[in-house]
Amino acid sequence: MNPLTVLKIGGNVIDNPTALTRFLTLFSTLAGDRLLVHGGGKVATEVARKLGVETTMVDGRRITDKAMLDVVTMVYGGLVNKQIVSQLQVLDCNAIGLTGADAGVIKAQKRPVTTIDYGFVGDIIEIDSGRIQSFTRENMVPVFAPLTFAETGDLLNTNADTLASAIAVDMIFHNDVTLVYCFEKKGVLANPDDESSVIGQLTPAQYADHKTAGTVNKGMIPKLDNAFAALSAGVKRVIICHADEVPAALSGTAGTTLTL
C-alpha cells in the first residue's frame, strides 16, 4: 500500500502567520500522499470577542452554542481553511479545503448531554475513507477544518486532534499511515519548562507515569490519548513534534515517536 502522512497542525502556529508559512512550506515539500487537519481555536476566540459572542471553556474544550457554532464555521471552515489552501496553492501544492460535510466524508452525532452540555459538538461515527482516497489519487491534498455534519444537517464542532486520529485510522484500509501531531513544542517534554527534555520514544506505561507525576497535563493529555488510540487501531507510526521539524521527525531524528 502507498504511504500516507496525516498531519495535524495546531497550537500557536495557526495564530502566527510567519510560523504557519514556514510549516506550510515544509509541508508542501513532503514526499508521497499527504493530508492536513488544522485547528484554529485562538482565532475563533478573538473573532467571537469582536462579535460579542461569549467563549466558555470546560477542561480546555469549547462549549459550542448556536452563536459559537456560527463563529467556528466562519473561522475554521472559512478564514483559516481558505488561507491555508491559498498559501499551499502558491507553493505548488494542489490543496482542496474541506469540512466533514463536503462530499459527506465525515459524519458525526451531536454529543449527548451528561453532566455538561457541550452544545453543537460532534462525536465522529463514520468516515468515507474511499472518498478521501479519491482526492489523493487525483493528486489533491485534502485540508480538513475541524467541522463535521449530522444527519439532521447540522454542522458540528469536532476536536481537531480527534479528527486527525479518526481519519488516520480509517485510511489504514488504503494506505500505510503515519500520523503526525505538530505544534510549537519540540515533542512530549519530560520537563514542560525545558525544550531540550524531549522524550524520544514514549510507551503507554511511560505516558501513565508522566500523567501521575504531572509532567504531562492539560491539552497534551487528549492529544496523547488520541495518538495512542490511533496506534492501537493499526496506524503504522505516530509522531509528536515541532512544526519546523516535521521532516526531521519523519526521519527519526526529532520529536517524540509513540510505541506500544
In the chain, domain spans: 2-258
CA torsion sign, 235 to 236 to 241 to 244? negative
Q: What is the pLDDT along the chain (260 residues), one digit of tens a residue?
A: 889 999 999 888 999 999 999 999 999 999 999 999 998 878 999 999 999 999 998 876 789 999 999 999 999 999 999 999 999 999 999 999 999 999 999 999 999 998 999 999 999 999 999 999 999 999 999 999 999 999 999 999 999 999 999 999 999 999 999 999 999 999 999 888 888 899 999 999 999 998 888 888 777 888 899 899 999 999 999 999 999 999 999 999 999 999 99
The β-bridge partners of 189 are 198
Task: Check residue 255 and report its DSSP letter.
Answer: S
118-142 confidence digits (pLDDT tens): 999 999 999 999 999 999 999 999 9
Phi, psi of 166 (to 5 degrees): -65, -40
Task: Count other C-beta atoms under 10 Å from residue 180's C-beta.
Answer: 26
- Report residue 64 as a C-alpha cell: 459550542
Nearest to 164 by CA among 208, 117, 225: 225
40 carries a ligand binding annotation: yes
189-234 confidence digits (pLDDT tens): 988 888 889 999 999 999 999 888 888 877 788 889 989 999 999 9
16 carries a ligand binding annotation: no
Where does 91-219 have alpha helices with state H? 129-137, 160-170, 204-213
Q: Is 242 helix (H, G, I), strand (E, B) or coil?
A: strand
Nearest to 159 by CA among 45, 72, 65: 72
100 carries a ligand binding annotation: no
Q: Going by C-beta distance under 8 Å and a sequence separation of 6 or more, which residues neighbour residue 123?
A: 108, 109, 110, 111, 158
Q: Going by C-beta distance under 8 Å and a sequence separation of 6 or more, which residues neighbour residue 239?
A: 178, 179, 180, 181, 249, 250, 255, 256, 257, 258
Domain 2-258 has CATH 3.40.50.300: no
62 carries a ligand binding annotation: yes
Cα gap 50→71, rounded to integer Å: 11
The β-bridge partners of 121 are 157
